[in-house]
Amino acid sequence: VKFMLPNNLNIYLHDTNEKHLFKRTVRAFSHGCVRVAEPRKLAEWVLAGDTAWTLDRMRKAMKAETPELVKLSEHIPVLLVYHTAAVDERGVVRSYKDVYEYDAELATLLARGFGS
């Protein structure tokens, strides 16, 4: 299953045969796309308002040899956010490896201050 997003970076959400990768701590194995742990649930949610797409039809389409393009009647905003630090459920600040190397640019911008 592949969920296309309108963007100029070729980023999309997709299913994977490598389900074991979801259990790893480091999961930067993609080239910018986002693996979806439960694509069937996401598809059910996305198509919930479309009466033409029953659960049975959806399941058959997912198993079909030929891909089927489904255009949505309503736009669903998708926001992908990249953080190298976050506060966990206990309030502890955790830092993560900057796999895309954006932190140096962010540090430069922050050093300029908010007035510039």
**Residue-wise DSSP of 62-73:** HH-SS------S
Q: What is the mean pLDDT of residues 93-108?
A: 90
- Residue 57 is predicted with a pLDDT of 92
Q: Write the single-letter amino acid at 38.
A: E
Q: What is the mean pLDDT of residues 8-31?
A: 69
Chain-wide mean pLDDT for the chain?
Answer: 84
Question: Does the structure show a pLDDT above 60 at 49?
Answer: yes
* pTM across the whole model: 0.68
Q: Which helix (H) or strand (E) holds 13?
A: strand 12-14
- Residue 116 is predicted with a pLDDT of 56
Question: Does the structure show a pLDDT above 80 at 15?
Answer: no
Q: How many residues does the chain have?
A: 116
- Phi/psi zone of residue 88: left (φ > 0), alpha (ψ -120 to 50 degrees), beta? beta
Question: Which of 9-18, 72-81, 83-92 is predicted most confidently?
Answer: 83-92
Question: Does the structure show a pLDDT above 70 at 23?
Answer: no
Handedness of CA 64, 69, 73, 79 (dihedral sign): positive
* Terminal alpha carbon distance of the chain: 45
Cβ-proximal residues to 103 (8 Å cutoff; 6+ apart), any chain: 84
Rounded to an integer, what distance in angstroms lies between the CA atom of residue 89 and that of residue 79? 21
Average the pLDDT over each of 18-32, 51-65, 78-92, 93-107 and give the range with the smallest value. 18-32
- Residue 19 is predicted with a pLDDT of 64
